[in-house]
Amino acid sequence: MGTCHIGHDCKLGDGNILANGTLLGGHVIMQNHVHTGGGVAVHQRCQIDSYAFVGGGSMVVRDVPMYAMVTGDRAELCGLNLEGLRRHRFSHDEMRKIKQAYHKLFMIREGRLEDRLALVESSKEMMSIQAVARMIDSVKGCLGDNRRELMHGLLELSIADQNCALKVLRMNITHER
């Protein structure tokens, strides 16, 4: 779309949709099937992994994991890009397992993220779904050296807000069954 800026040495994958006014700083990596709303700005050296959605007017200053939806002045995780997954024909089982993994990784405040990653990785049922394995690799990649760190989000919500988000997630999981 119009009036986008793609900085020097950026790498863009296939099937991305950049709405009007999207600005990418230098060395940004945007994998496949990423969608940005209008007026998005992405800080240099950030990586946005496949099937992510960046809400309009967001300022991305950290890496965005695969399948995530982020929004805000300093963009934060706000859920999964479920509509994007549906449009790209992810199966109901894949989406259900991705939701479960997301819940275990980002919506539970217990322990360190690395421990929660190990817990999901140790589940043969979860890791048997290739989409979940790719998500885990994406999150681990965001934690790697020379990266801009992982996007924050629901981990910083109050307990009341987390409980509300959990209810919505449970309704979505129940609805998918």
Q: What is the pLDDT of residues 56-99, one digit of tens each?
A: 999 999 999 999 999 999 999 999 999 999 999 999 999 999 99
26 part of the active site: yes
Q: Which residues contact 177 (CB under 8 A, 6 or more apart)?
A: 96
8 part of the active site: yes
- Active-site position among 5, 7, 15, 26: 26
9 part of the active site: yes
- Active-site position among 8, 88, 93, 161: 8
- Active-site position among 5, 9, 88, 92: 9
- Contact status, residue 14 vs residue 63, Cβ threshold 8 Å: no
Which domains can be identified in the chain, with CATH numbers?
A: 5-83 (2.160.10.10), 91-176 (1.20.1180.10)
Q: Which residues contact 77 (CB under 8 A, 6 or more apart)?
A: 65, 68, 69, 70, 106, 151, 152, 153, 154
Q: Which position has the token pair 């993994």?
A: 101
Provide the CB-side half-sphere exposure for 151 (13 A, CA).
36
- pTM for the whole thing? 0.84
pLDDT tens across 98-126, in order? 999 999 999 887 888 899 999 999 999 99
